[in-house]
Structures are given as C-alpha cells and as structure tokens.
C-alpha cells in the first residue's frame, strides 16, 4: 500500500491493511510468520552498511523482524504516529521508553493513577538505577509544573487510569510538558487507538500493552512504543544522548542522522539491542489478527460496559459505580472530548456489605459466585474478566498508596467482554445476590438500544454520511 493512499484511509481500513501488501515471493495475502533468528546479507559491504546504520534492513530478530515490522507499521498508522517499536511486553515498552530518555541522576514526573505494575516500576525499580520518579495528581497542573526541574526528562500518564478510571487532560498536560521542553508519554493501553489517539492531542510518545485490547483474546504477551515524530530532541536541550556521538556506532548522532525519529531509532538500535526485550514473530502475527477486528471489538466492549455500569448504578446491592461513560462520572465531560466513540470495557464498583457488614468479604464472595466472568489478572479479553485489585494487582502497595492510585478495599474491577449483554447482567445479578442477598430482579432492564450515553456518539466509528440501516439487506 502506498503511503499517499494509506494517509487518506480510515481506521477500519488501516486496521486490516496498513504496513503490508501481498508477500512478493509467495503471493501470500496473510502476513507470513518469519520464524528466523537472522538474515543473509547480500555481501560483506551490505553487512557493514547495516551494522553501521548507513542502511536499514534485517540483521537479527532481537532488533527487527519482517512479521514484527508489519505489526509496528500498522499500530503506528492507527495511532497516527511516525514509527513504532514492538517489545516483549507492555512493561518492557514503558521501561524502554523511560530508559531511552532518562539516565542515572535524572527524573521523570508521573501521575499517580497507574496500573500496579507501572507503579512498582516507577516507585521501586527505577530508583535502583538512579532514575527518580516524582508523583503528582493528574489534575494538579500547578503541582506538576512545580515538580519540573533541570533533571526532568518526561511527563508520564495514562489515557484512562487503571483501575481509577480517571481520564487525563492530555491537551493540558502536553502544553505543560512542551512549555518546559519535555515530551509527554501516554500509556494508551486501557482504551487502544480505536477509542483514543493521544498524539492528536499533543502526546509525543505512546506506549501500550498489546496483550490487552490490541491482541484481544488473551493469547499473547507483548508491548509497543509509538513515536509521534514531532518532538525536537535537539532544540529541547535536555537530551544530550540524542545529539552527542554514540561510541557504540562509531560516533553517530541520532538527532543529526535521524532528525525527528531520533527517539524511536535510538530505542531500537541501542535500547532493544542491549536489553533484548524483543517481541516474538509468532506473537506479532497473533497481534495482527487482533488488530484487524480492534475497531469492532472496542465498540462492543464499550457498549456492553456502559450497559453494565447503568445496570449496577440502579442495583440495590451496589454501593457505588465508576465508569466514565456515565453522566454521573466526574470525568464525563472529558469522556466526551477524549473518548467520544466509547469509553472502553473497564468498570469498577463497590458492593454493599450485606448482613455481615464486611464489604471486603462481600466482594470476595461476589467474585467467587460469578460463573461467566473469569477471575484473572488481565483486561481487554473478548471474555469478561474480574479481579479484586487491592489483594492482587496492587497488593504490593501500602493502603495509602492504594488509595492514591484509586484502589479501595471494596473495589471490584470488571473487564467487560463482548458476550451477549443479557448474559453478562444475569451473571452479575446472581453473584451480587449470593454475596449480600440483594437482587435487582430485572437483569434485562437495561436494553441494548438504551445504553448510548447522551452527548457521546456511539456512531462515531461509522463512515460519515452512510447510515448503518441503509446497508442492511431488505
């Protein structure tokens, strides 16, 4: 596919076609799995040019692979970025993104609402390597500005915090970062590019766990970094490693050689080369299968999650519900701005304690009583999932740290799948009744056609000017 044609195509088309044409050797239309460690060079001079970064091409699968290359190009296209780098996991993606920018003695600023694994990395592991992380509330813009100093190298946040489900004001955070010559890094895992493209709001780097919604079926671990290709690393004055000669490549300067792509290429040929956190070609292939239906799945995830949230909001056995697509949500207005086509499949709620008076125990009984939902540590699967973050994903945090990240003792997190909404609601209703004796008596009271939130356009991913009903066979 030509770049000119690809630049004019819509999301659903890019999800199926971006980054690949039929295999030139075999004619295979599907992306082949290049299960190889290494590649034959044309001659000695060709090998020397590749190793010297004078020419791009395949050297070793730890650094690049043709199957993975298609995955990288496709996600870059979907996110609206210039280039991407796949990694062995989402954790590897964020680690590599940070260490590509910050050295020992330097700092980053992160918002507090984070996935538990990210919080542990930032709070415990990075400081062991001399990289300090200053935490600030995502909505405390003055506090974020005050935390910036000469050692700061980036601002980091999540589009949709997991599990707090707060929506970052990306546009404002990008403005603050750019005022100080800093890049804004956004973790887009919880919504995927089908619902949000942070680069369009000013983000410079996007990281994602492809394990979640991108893959969508709970089969593969992987991550990806997307570079907007817009940040001027040289002009910033904060990134000497980007402009200074790299002795491991005979003194090459990344800013001089690669300009706006200095970040992503440095991450590949230096960071990925040395850490070895490479994505396997087979997992890249599986992720490509997921990407082709990403836009369809995210619409269904979002519709089902909104239906669940509305059902729980009126359920007598539920204390509170948190979902940004609800009009009662603190982040509803931001949802209309940043997530107009759907607010993802994550819902959190607190169950009433019942006769025992113990909400924690009621939550455990609820989880143990669910039949359709699977109890496991993941999100973004086609199947509905459930977990109790305080005792699992955020267990390593103190109670105070848990509360800071949005984790309360009674909080139950749902990753709502793409099953029939009626079956999802029926399972939740019977489990809540088993936990505290309260039943709604009407799990089908939330109808599919009524789950569109006012002001949030569920039709956003349909082609403009073409009505869905006009396409139906008479």
Confidence check: pLDDT of 7 > 70: no
**pLDDT at residue 406 greater than cutoff 80:** no
pTM of the full predicted structure? Answer: 0.92
Distances (CA, A) of 197 to 96, 170, 207, 460: 21, 10, 11, 14
Structure tokens at 148: 């910036």
Q: What is the mean pLDDT of residues 138-152?
A: 98
Q: What is the mean pLDDT of the chain?
A: 91
β-strands 152-158, 184-187: how paired?
parallel
Give residue 71's pLDDT band: very low, low, confident or very high (50, 70, 90): very high
- Lowest average pLDDT, out of 14-28, 135-149, 437-451, goes to 437-451
Residue (of 310, 304, 305, 312) closest to 440 by Cα position? 312
**Res 208: pLDDT:** 99
Residue 82 or 25, more confident: 82
Nearest Cα neighbor of 206 from 182, 219, 223 is: 223
What is the structure's pLDDT at 471? 37
pLDDT digits (tens, 9 = 90+) for 258-271: 999 999 999 999 99
Q: Is the pLDDT of residue 412 over 60?
A: yes
Percent of the chain scored above 90 by pLDDT?
Answer: 79
pLDDT at residue 455 in the model: 39
Of residues 261 and 163, more confidence is placed in 261
Q: Residue 4: what pLDDT?
A: 59
pLDDT of residue 332: 98
User: pLDDT at residue 255 above 60?
Assistant: yes
> What is the share, in percent, of the chain residues with pLDDT greater than 70?
91
Higher-pLDDT residue of 123 and 446 is: 123
Model pLDDT for residues 369-379, shown as the tens digit of each residue: 999 999 999 99
Q: 411 pLDDT exceeds 90?
A: no
Task: pLDDT band for 390, please (50, 70, 90 cuts).
Answer: confident
Q: Averaged over 378-384, what is the pLDDT?
A: 97
pLDDT interval class at 470 (50, 70, 90):
very low
- pLDDT at position 452: 47
User: Cα separation of 154 and 164, whole Å?
Assistant: 22
Q: Is the pLDDT of residue 285 over 60?
A: yes
Higher pLDDT, 147 or 395: 147
Q: Where are the domains of the chain?
A: 3-285, 296-455
Name the pairing type of β-strands 223-227 and 205-209. Answer: antiparallel
Helical spans, DSSP H, in 413-467:
421-436
Residue with the two structure tokens 């848990």: 402
CATH 3.40.50.720 fits 3-285, yes or no: no
Q: Where does 339-391 show beta strands of DSSP type E?
A: 346-351, 374-375, 385-387
Q: Mean per-residue pLDDT for 50-74?
A: 95
Residue 164: left if φ>0, alpha if ψ -120 to 50, beta else—which one?
A: alpha
- Does residue 197 or residue 4 have the better pLDDT? 197
For residue 383, the model assigns a pLDDT of 98
Instruction: Give the model confidence (pLDDT) of 415-463 as tens digits.
Output: 999 999 999 999 999 999 999 988 886 766 555 555 544 434 543 333 3
What's the confidence (pLDDT) of residue 187? 99
Would you identify the CATH topology of the domain 296-455?
Answer: 3.90.1150
Give per-residue pLDDT as tens, 194-223: 999 999 999 999 999 999 999 999 999 999
pLDDT at 467 over 50: no
Could you report the per-residue pLDDT of 334-348, keeping only the tens digit for each? 999 999 999 999 999
């Amino acid at each position: 596919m030509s770049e000119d044609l690809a630049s004019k195509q819509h999301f659903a088309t890019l999800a199926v076609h971006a980054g690949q044409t039929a295999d030139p050797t075999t004619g295979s239309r599907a992306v082949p799995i290049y299960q190889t460690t290494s590649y034959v060079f044309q001659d000695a001079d060709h090998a020397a040019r590749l190793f010297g970064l004078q020419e791009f091409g395949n050297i070793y699968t730890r650094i690049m692979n043709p199957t993975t290359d298609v995955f990288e190009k496709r996600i870059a296209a979907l996110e609206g970025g210039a280039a991407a780098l796949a990694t062995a996991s989402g954790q590897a993606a964020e680690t590599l993104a940070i260490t590509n920018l910050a050295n020992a003695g330097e700092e980053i600023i992160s918002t507090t609402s984070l996935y538990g694994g990210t919080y542990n990395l930032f709070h415990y592991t990075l400081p062991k390597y001399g990289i300090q992380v200053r935490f600030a509330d995502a909505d405390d813009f003055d506090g974020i500005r005050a935390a910036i100093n000469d050692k700061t190298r980036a601002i980091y946040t999540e589009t949709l915090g997991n599990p707090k489900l707060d929506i970052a004001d990306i546009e404002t955070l990008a403005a603050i970062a750019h005022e100080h010559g800093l890049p804004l890094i956004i973790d887009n895992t919880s919504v995927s590019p089908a619902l949000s493209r942070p680069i369009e709001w000013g983000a410079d780097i996007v990281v994602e766990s492809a394990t979640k919604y991108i893959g969508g079926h709970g089969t593969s671990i992987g991550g990806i970094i997307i570079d907007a290709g817009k940040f001027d690393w040289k002009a910033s004055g904060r990134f000497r490693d980007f402009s200074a000669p790299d002795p491991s490549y005979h003194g090459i300067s990344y800013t001089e050689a690669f300009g706006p792509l200095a970040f992503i290429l440095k991450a590949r040929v230096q960071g990925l080369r040395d850490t070895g956190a490479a994505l396997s070609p087979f997992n890249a292939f599986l992720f490509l299968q997921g990407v082709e239906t990403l836009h369809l799945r995210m619409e269904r995830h979002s519709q089902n999650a909104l239906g669940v949230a509305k059902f729980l909001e009126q359920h007598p056995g539920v204390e509170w519900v948190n979902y940004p697509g609800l009009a009662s949500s603190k982040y509803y207005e931001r949802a209309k701005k940043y997530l107009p086509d759907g607010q993802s499949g994550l819902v959190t709620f607190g169950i009433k304690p019942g006769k025992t008076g113990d909400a924690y125990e009621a939550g455990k009984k609820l989880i143990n009583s669910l039949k359709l939902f699977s109890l496991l540590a993941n999100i973004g699967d086609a199947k509905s999932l459930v977990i109790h973050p305080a005792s699992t994903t955020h267990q390593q945090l103190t109670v105070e740290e848990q509360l800071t990240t949005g984790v309360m003792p009674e909080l139950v997190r749902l990753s709502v799948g793409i099953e029939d909404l009626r079956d999802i609601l029926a399972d939740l209703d019977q489990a809540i009744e088993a936990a505290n004796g309260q039943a709604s008596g009407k799990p089908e009271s939330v109808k599919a056609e009524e789950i569109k939130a006012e002001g949030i356009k569920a039709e956003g991913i349909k082609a403009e000017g073409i009505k869905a009903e006009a396409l139906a066979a008479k």
